[in-house]
């Protein structure tokens, strides 16, 4: 696979945002090193109110008035250094813009550059972060996840298997995640990792 250029990555990141608009679901990564109160305040200022919280999982669900109501979910991922934000609803575009302006977000092009550098220390973390942004599978997503699932590093393959499951749930689509995982399972030689891949196939298949 040809290494994407900077212009390729910028074009791809724009395409990702377009796909979010197409399916009316948006996902961004907020840098956790920033003051967390900025995000909380921005969410409240946009008209969202806390509806539910799982403190152990670091997940908060917010809703805004409407029929149907806009919803916004934040998930703290200190292991990735980000807080993943996902939102949907008829007024989300108007509400989400000011939130992102107030907090900033990690550009998709930067995450893509890291994810394509398979073998580098933060490549797997970037792939996992991007997995939350797979609102619709396409060929480019499949190629990127395949790149990690076929890595010579078993740790990278393990992280890729878990990230592929996240991507399937984010996209709410079984394929091509199931096919990618099944192919990886067929060629895997490490017994424990083969078991992990089998479980990943089962988890994704439950979406059907």
Sort 191 into a burial class: Cβ within 10 Å, 0-12 / 13-18 / 19+: exposed
pLDDT above 80 (res 1): no
Mean pLDDT estimate for the chain = 95
Whether 166 and 132 have beta carbons less than 8 Å apart is answered as yes
Whether 147 and 157 have beta carbons less than 8 Å apart is answered as no
Q: Answer whether residue 19 is part of any domain.
A: no
Residues 97 and 132 in one domain: no
- How many domains, the chain? 2
135-168 burial string, b = 16+ CB within 10 Å, else e? bebeeebbebbbbbbebeeeebbbbbbbbbbbbb
Residue 13 pLDDT level (bands cut at 50, 70, 90)? very high
Q: Answer whether residue 145 is part of any domain.
A: yes
Residue 39's domain spans which residues?
24-103
Residue 116 pLDDT level (bands cut at 50, 70, 90)? very high
Q: By three-state DSSP, how is residue 67 classified? A: coil
pLDDT single digits (tens) 81-108:
999 999 999 899 999 999 999 999 999 9
Distance in angstroms (rounded) separating the CA atoms of residues 200 and 161: 7
Q: Answer whether residue 58 is part of any domain.
A: yes
pLDDT single digits (tens) 30-60:
998 877 889 999 999 999 999 999 999 999 9
Residues 77 and 47 in one domain: yes
Residues 99 and 121 in one domain: no
Residues 93 and 131 in one domain: no
pTM value is 0.94
């Amino acid at each position: 696979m040809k290494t994407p250029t900077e212009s390729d990555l910028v074009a791809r990141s724009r395409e990702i945002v377009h796909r979010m608009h197409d399916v009316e679901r948006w996902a961004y990564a907020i840098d956790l090193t920033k003051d967390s109160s900025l995000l909380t305040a921005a969410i409240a200022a946009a008209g969202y109110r806390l509806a539910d919280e799982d403190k152990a999982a670091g997940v908060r669900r917010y809703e805004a008035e409407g029929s149907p109501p806009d919803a916004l979910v934040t998930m703290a991922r200190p292991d990735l250094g980000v807080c993943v934000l996902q939102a949907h609803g008829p007024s989300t575009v108007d509400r989400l813009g000011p939130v992102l302006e107030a907090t900033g977000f990690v550009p998709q092009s930067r995450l893509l550059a890291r994810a394509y550098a398979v073998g580098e220390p933060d490549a797997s973390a970037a792939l996992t972060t991007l997995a939350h942004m797979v609102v619709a599978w396409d060929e480019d997503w499949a190629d990127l996840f395949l790149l990690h699932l076929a890595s010579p590093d078993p740790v990278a393959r393990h992280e890729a298997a878990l990230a592929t499951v996240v991507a399937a749930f984010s996209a709410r689509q079984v394929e091509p995640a199931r096919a990618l995982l099944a192919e990886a399972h067929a060629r895997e030689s490490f017994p424990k990792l083969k078991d992990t891949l089998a479980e990943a196939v089962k988890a994704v298949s439950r979406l059907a």
